[in-house]
Structure 1
Amino acid sequence: MRAKGIVLLVLGVVLFALSFLLLGAHNIEAMLGALLMGIGAASVVASLSFLLGKKPKMQ
């Protein structure tokens, strides 16, 4: 579970950083940049919930 969170965190940061390179254009590249930013931010949030969330208690 922790490995999945770290992988998602790295992937989200890379996608978020890559989106800034594409946002300056006025065509399809800008739309791709916005999509990459959304996916990157969502994976960062998911990874933080994996890393910082409480594990369910086993009975």
Structure 2
Amino acid sequence: MRAKGVALLILGVILIALSFLLFGEPDIKAIIGALLMGVGGAAVVASLTFFMGKKPQMQ
């Protein structure tokens, strides 16, 4: 569970960094940059829920 969270966090940070490189470009590159920012942000939020979420208790 923690490995999945770490992988999503790294992926999210990389996608957000790539999106900043594409924002200055015109037309389609800016759209791709915005999509990368959205996916990267979602990956960061998902990784934080993996880290902060409580494990379900077994009965």
TM range (shorter): over 0.9
Gaps of 5+ in 1: none
TM-score (norm 2): 0.97
Structure 1 CA distance for aligned equivalents of residues 28 and 3 of structure 2: 34
Runs of 4+ in 1 over 3 A off after TM superposition: none
Structure 2 CA distance for aligned equivalents of residues 16 and 57 of structure 1: 35
Gaps of 5+ in 2: none
Q: RMSD over aligned Cα, in angstroms? A: 0.5
Structure 2 CA distance for aligned equivalents of residues 3 and 51 of structure 1: 10
Percent of matched pairs sharing the same residue: 68
TM-score (norm 1): 0.97
Structure 2 CA distance for aligned equivalents of residues 2 and 25 of structure 1: 36
Q: How many residues are paired up?
A: 59
